[in-house]
């Protein structure tokens, strides 16, 4: 089955064309600056690249440009849009309503619209992508794959906030978690690498510009660091992560800013950028630390310390750990962060091999010492495969009904 994978953002559109049955990617790319001017970056074949400047006033023109690039001209990989058999959409927030991937229907879209207050930046763009694909490719099945779905197995004592209970019943205020497709993929890969399907206790650190940690027992999430929104949890590129409510209120009173302005600070001006004063890109901050910049050093130490605290708490929540996994741009590439996170975890059975850790490789690998009681894995994530495979399973399941 040929699946068109779509990840629609507010001013961007990532895509991939994949056959999940044979795990083959035919093309991938991104449309940027939608509503401004429009740039399409397209990868196809054996590493061939194409960059096109195309007017994209809306997402509709962007998707039309992608479909045209896939079927006509230099970047062509299929003969016709009819070759696409299904469309899989990344959907950020499914609330409590969606615990798995579903066929897109009017009811599903209406429910996602009701959930917009929980993800005001993401859900509208996700919905727009679905509606445009329904218009441009009528009759093709569309499937929504939710970031939050994997975390719906958390027990109530893990996802509830200690606010008055009616805040949950009236407004759905609770922890939801994000990056679910990545946590699902990496934890599943780890179970395969352990060659152990039962009583598995796995901690996944998805580390990038946005970062989160999850505790996974027997393939099911029992806790995760992100909360009602993605700002909770770890310190990230521009997000603050965990901040006490009193600190937030005090900052607002001292700066004379509104709650919306304060949330803008927490989401876009904090984290690695806010502490280093240099960049939200950890690579640049690591370079700054090497050059002797103490604020860059502080940012690096805070990033690693925050991850380490969550790892320790999830070892406790899981009553032990079989594998600690690193994934995402930082998790897969920043050996120093992995080293700092694992330092001192020997008593938990996690012993890092410094030689293995510093070898640059792109494949999934074990970087623990041979004598380590528990394993430490670096596993490249593949969220697009999860979306394509879920789309395949939902469509085939629907056909068999």
**Tokens at 104, concatenated:** 């897109």
d(CA 260, CA 75): 43
Question: 331 a known binding residue?
Answer: yes
Taking residues 325-344, report their average pLDDT.
Answer: 97
Question: 209 a known binding residue?
Answer: yes
Taking residues 83-98, report their average pLDDT.
Answer: 96
Tell me the catalytic residues. 147
Taking residues 97-113, report their average pLDDT.
Answer: 96
d(CA 197, CA 220): 12
Per-residue model confidence (pLDDT) at position 196 = 78
Share of residues in the chain with pLDDT > 90 (%): 93
Find the angle CA(359)-CA(361)-CA(362) to the nearest 5 degrees. 160
Give the bridge partners for 122, in sequence order.
Answer: none
Q: What is the DSSP letter of 256?
A: T
d(CA 188, CA 379): 10
State pLDDT tens for residues 35-66. Answer: 988 999 999 998 999 999 999 999 999 999 99
Taking residues 204-209, report their average pLDDT.
Answer: 96
Question: 358 a known binding residue?
Answer: no
**What residue ranges define each of the domains in the chain, with the CATH number in brackets?**
3-146 (3.30.420.40), 197-383 (3.30.420.40)
State pLDDT tens for residues 166-192. Answer: 999 999 999 999 999 999 999 999 999
Q: Hey, is 259 helix, strand or coil?
A: helix
Per-residue model confidence (pLDDT) at position 400 = 54
Of 142, 121, 1, the closest CA to residue 63 belongs to: 142
| Residue 94 pLDDT level (bands cut at 50, 70, 90) | very high
Q: In sequence order, what are the residues at sequence separation of 6 or more whose Cβ sits closer than 8 angstroms to the Cβ of residue 176?
A: 93, 95, 118, 148, 151, 159, 226, 227, 228
Question: 14 a known binding residue?
Answer: yes
Per-residue model confidence (pLDDT) at position 379 = 98
**Tokens at 274, concatenated:** 């806010």
Question: 244 a known binding residue?
Answer: no
Assess contact for 65 and 75: CB atoms under 8 A: no
Question: 9 a known binding residue?
Answer: no
Question: 350 a known binding residue?
Answer: no
């Amino acid at each position: 089955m040929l699946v068109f994978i779509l990840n629609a953002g507010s001013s961007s559109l990532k895509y991939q064309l994949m056959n999940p049955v044979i795990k083959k990617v035919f093309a991938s790319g991104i449309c940027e600056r939608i509503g401004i001017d429009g740039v399409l970056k397209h990868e196809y074949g054996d590493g061939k690249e194409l960059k096109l400047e195309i007017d994209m006033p809306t997402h509709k023109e962007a998707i039309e440009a992608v479909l045209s690039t896939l079927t006509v001209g230099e970047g062509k990989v299929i003969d016709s849009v009819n070759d696409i058999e299904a469309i899989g959409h990344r959907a950020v927030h499914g609330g409590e309503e969606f615990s798995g991937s579903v066929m897109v229907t009017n009811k599903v879209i209406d429910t996602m619209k009701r959930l917009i207050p929980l993800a005001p930046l993401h859900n509208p763009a996700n919905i727009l992508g679905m509606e445009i694909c329904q218009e441009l490719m009528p009759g093709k099945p569309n499937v929504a794959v939710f970031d939050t779905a994997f975390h719906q197995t958390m027990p109530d004592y893990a996802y509830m906030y200690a606010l008055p209970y009616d805040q949950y019943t009236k407004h759905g205020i609770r922890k939801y978690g994000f990056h679910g497709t990545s946590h699902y993929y990496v934890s599943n890969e780890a179970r395969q690498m352990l060659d152990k399907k039962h009583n598995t206790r796995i901690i996944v650190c998805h580390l990038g510009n946005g970062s989160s940690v999850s505790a996974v027992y027997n393939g099911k999430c029992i806790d995760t660091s992100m909360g009602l929104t993605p700002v909770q949890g770890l310190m990230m590129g521009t997000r603050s992560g965990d901040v006490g409510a009193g600190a937030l209120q005090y900052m607002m009173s001292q700066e004379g800013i509104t709650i919306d302005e304060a949330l803008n600070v927490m989401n876009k001006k904090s984290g690695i950028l806010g502490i280093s004063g240099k960049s939200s890109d950890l690579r640049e901050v690591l370079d700054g630390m090497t050059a002797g910049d103490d604020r860059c050093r502080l940012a690096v130490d805070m990033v690693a310390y925050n991850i380490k605290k969550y790892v320790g708490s999830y070892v406790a929540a899981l009553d032990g750990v079989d594998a600690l996994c690193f994934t995402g741009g930082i998790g897969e590439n920043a050996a120093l962060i992995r080293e700092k996170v694992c330092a001192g975890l020997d008593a938990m059975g996690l012993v890092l091999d410094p030689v293995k850790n510093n070898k640059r490789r792109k494949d999934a690998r074990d970087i623990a010492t041979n004598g380590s009681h528990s394993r430490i894995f670096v596993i490249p994530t593949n969220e697009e495969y999860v979306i394509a495979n879920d789309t395949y399973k939902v469509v085939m399941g629907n056909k068999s009904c």
